[in-house]
A and B are shown apart, each in its own frame.
Chain A
Amino acid sequence: MPITIETLDDSTCVSIDGELTIYTVAELAGELLPRMSGAPRLMLDLSQVTEMDGAGLQLLAVIQREADSAGTALSVTGQSVAVTQALELCRKAAS
């Protein structure tokens, strides 16, 4: 199971284990997105992500957008090297 979702009090903890790529996004999105509504706090643990591509990036962008619109407080509790690199690549600000 690439994804574990635990609900503690008012916060939902989600940790993704394995790839965050085109091969897994459909499953992840199916598991994750329905649980988001109603949870006041969402903790995203990306420390076990082994690989991330454009599709994974898009999923994170959607999660962020949905969280914003629902007023959910989103926090990323950990990120692996793969995630950091991918995010750096597409978030480079003017140096």
Chain B
Amino acid sequence: MSINLDQALQTFIVEAHELLQVMEQSLLQLETEPADQDAIGAIFRAAHTIKGSAGLFGLNPVVSFTHIVEDVLDRLRDGSVAVDSRLIAVLLKCGDHMLELINVVASRGEPLQPAALEREAALREALSTYQAPHHTPDTGAQHTEAGAADRANAPAEVLWHISLRFGVDVFRNGMDPLSFLRYLETLGQITQVTTLTDSIPALDSWDPESCYLGFEIELRSTASHATLNEVFDFVRDDCDVHIDAIDEASDSAVSIGSELVAQAEQGPLTASVQRLPAASEPKTRDGNYVRVNADKLDELINLVGELVIASAGASLLARSCNNDPLQEATSTVSGLVEEILDGALHLRMIPIGDTFNRFRRVVRDISQELGKDIELTISGAETELDKTVVEKIGDPLMHLLRNAMDHGIESADARRAAGKAGKGHLSLNAYHDSGSIVIEIADDGNGLNRERILEKAQERGLVASGAVLSDQEIYNLIFEPGFSTAEAVTNLSGRGVGMDVVKRNITLLRGTVDLDSRPGQGTVVRIRLPLTLAIINGFLVGIDTSTYVIPLDMVQECIELDEHQRQSSREKGYLDLRGEVLPLVDLREHFSHEGSAGRRQNVVVVRYAEHKAGLVVDDLLGEFQTVIKPLGKLFGALRGISGSTILGSGAVALILDVPALLNQIVQLEARTPQAPYSPTVVAR
């Protein structure tokens, strides 16, 4: 058989990972709603498909273990085993083990390590209590002989009649009809094969490389109709397959397991009816997606970035040419390039839901470990953000969740004593807000102990004694390196490594994190992340001859600063914006540009999170698609600048890091207490 097995195997591994994910989610779903038939069906299908595909690749360790799992699931489905938390715990572990099997056996082609085999034996033991009673003696045999497990264990054998007519292109497509026969042999016992050669045309029109073969096969097997059907998935398009069960009642004398014949008559038939739609369901869903290598996508986005720069250069040239048709043409091109950019960036956007759902399992396991009853609520799972961000946010989120469960939520007794429900609530929420995505992790636990944090911070010299800090500032101290107030260092957290790492990871993603807490009511951690890392919509401003880029999403409005306002704002450091106090930052001063300000100045009002400020600049140069180029290491310590970009003219423009800039100013002002205005410079 010359199918490209390597590639098919890769597909199988990817699919198996997805299926196991589905299985895990459905199991957790089942835990909350034990009567959910859809969840049971989904779990069964996942295990069933993995077993079927693993069989095609001859991955016997996977098949034999999955078979037992499937067996138990089948009993779960027909109601002979009830859902309980112990079973779910076992099945979750089985899912983990299947993942390991696939990673070790399928991906690396190695046998399992002894430790894993031990785990497997324990799981088989645990599963055997859920299997049908008369199967239990068989489990010993299953350990040793994978292929036999199919026959030894299943409820009934059926005689299937399979009628195969291969299409002319089967050989050319790299399939060998004989390999299907060989595979069928592994599913059961082939009792009869008739090879049909009638349709081979006369010699002068016969092409030896075309296939004209047909087979009539009788197969005695416990496999379901769906399983047999799946065997022919590869050749479905150019092959005619009919699979029928032969009614054995008439020749029951030949029966192999006579006590099972009664079951054989109805059991598999009804099962096949149920399984058919189930098997076709994921197929239709898969059809809507194309798997693309992430590297290819990155390459594309990189190219689109270059395209954006090049097209900006072209339109700049066109403008200086005084050629109307040319200008029109370049503006059309720029418009299209922008659309391509949007489209390309959108390709990378994936919903955060998958990451969130992974945490259900984590929450479940940890809450059991801690002996707390904690429920996780997820909302905003459909919120989309850049793939890289999604991948990198997993660990920090995990850490925050663990922290919330370990320190935040109290034990059930303590909660009841405090007049709260015994069950703790944890919620994960995601939403879009002014060009960034916000992820909230909220718990309804005890909240942070303001005094303890302050005490600890003073003890560690993070805060000068006697300094007056707002609640917010105190809470954010826990993100400082080496800070932990946990009285007991537990397995999960409390070692004081963590929150600072969380913060650093988030900062690396150009995001910010802050925290809000109410004593006795809970804590909310808010992570704010940029939607994408590669390209932003920028707003160009000029100071002297230099150009700066402000992320457009943060720009709220632009106002002209007239002579009169300039005088008063320079004295006071803020501006009256329709009755609101707007603190001003003179970028010319901030970046130490020499020379005097231009005759006219403008204010760009920027907003980040709840902060708002005005940046005083000389010129407003308009919108610009900005491809972010990271600054070199030399400038790593530079604050207030997040990167650089290349303008159409070839000049380099610096991108302002508005959040850092605002923070810097807040700190600067806090250090000068004599300032004539309130210490919180930044308006809320």
Contact = CB atoms under 8 A, between A and B. Distances in A.
B208 A59 contact: yes
B373 to A, nearest CB: 59
Contacts of A25: 208-209
A26 interface: yes
Contacts of A55: 171, 176, 208-209, 211
A53 B197 contact: no
A94 interface: yes
Contact of B178 (A29, A57, A59): A57
B190 interface: yes
Sort chain B's interface into a size bin: 20 to 34
Interface in B171-229: 171, 176-179, 181-182, 185, 190-193, 195, 197, 200, 203, 206, 208-209, 211-213, 215, 218
Interface stretch (A9-17, A41-49, A85-93): A85-93
A33 interface: yes
Contact of B197 (A61, A92, A94): A61
A59 B509 CA distance: 64
A54 B200 CA distance: 13
B195 A90 contact: yes
Contact of A26 (B197, B208, B211): B208
A90 B171 CA distance: 17
Most buried by B among A57, A89, A91, A95: A89
B103 to A, nearest CB: 33
Given A61-B200, A62-B200, A62-B206, A54 B211 contact: yes
A74 interface: no
B215 A90 contact: yes
B203 A86 contact: no
B253 to A, nearest CB: 14
Contacts of A92: 190-193
A58 interface: yes
Interface in A55-71: 55, 57-59, 61-62, 65-66
B209 A26 contact: yes
Contacts of A89: 178, 181-182, 185, 193
A65 B197 contact: yes
Nearest to B195: A90
Contacts of B209: 22, 25-26, 55
Contacts of A58: 197, 200, 208, 211-213
Contacts of B2: 22
Contacts of A94: 191-192, 218
Contacts of A21: 176
Contacts of B190: 92
B195 A91 contact: yes
B208 A90 contact: no
A42 to B, nearest CB: 15
B178 A53 contact: yes
A91 B1 CA distance: 20
A88 to B, nearest CB: 9
Contacts of B182: 89
Contacts of A91: 193, 195
A6 to B, nearest CB: 22
Sort chain A's interface into a size bin: 20 to 34
Contacts of A33: 203
A54 B179 CA distance: 8
Given A26-B208, A62-B200, A65-B197, A57 B213 contact: yes
Contacts of B191: 92, 94-95
A89 B186 CA distance: 13
A52 B1 CA distance: 10
Contacts of B200: 58, 61-62, 65
A72 B104 CA distance: 56
B192 A90 contact: no
Interface in B588-612: none
Given A22-B209, A91-B195, A53 B176 contact: yes
Contacts of B203: 33, 62, 66
Contacts of A93: 192
Given A33-B203, A58-B197, A58-B200, A86 B208 contact: no
B164 to A, nearest CB: 11
Contacts of B170: 54
A14 to B, nearest CB: 15
Nearest to B215: A90
Contacts of A57: 178, 195, 213
Contacts of B177: 54
A3 B145 CA distance: 42
A65 B202 CA distance: 10
A30 to B, nearest CB: 8
Interface string B491-507: 00000000000000000
Nearest to A34: B203
A53 B195 CA distance: 13
Most buried by A among B171, B208, B213, B215: B208
B195 A22 contact: no
Most buried by B among A58, A62, A66: A58
Most buried by B among A26, A53, A55: A55
Nearest to A87: B195
Nearest to A28: B208
Interface in B528-543: none
B262 to A, nearest CB: 24
A62 B182 CA distance: 23
B314 to A, nearest CB: 53
A13 B318 CA distance: 81
Nearest to A30: B208
A71 B530 CA distance: 82
Contacts of A65: 197, 200
Interface of B: 1-2, 166, 170-171, 176-179, 181-182, 185, 190-193, 195, 197, 200, 203, 206, 208-209, 211-213, 215, 218
Given A65-B197, A86-B178, A89-B193, 10 more contacts: A22-B2, A26-B208, A29-B208, A53-B1, A54-B171, A55-B211, A57-B178, A57-B195, A58-B213, A89-B178
Interface of A: 21-22, 25-26, 28-29, 33, 52-55, 57-59, 61-62, 65-66, 86, 89-95
Ordered nearest first, which 9 A-B pairs have the shortest CB separation?
A54-B177, A29-B208, A25-B208, A61-B197, A90-B195, A53-B176, A92-B193, A22-B171, A94-B192
9 contacts: A53-B176, A54-B211, A57-B195, A57-B213, A58-B208, A89-B178, A90-B215, A91-B193, A94-B218
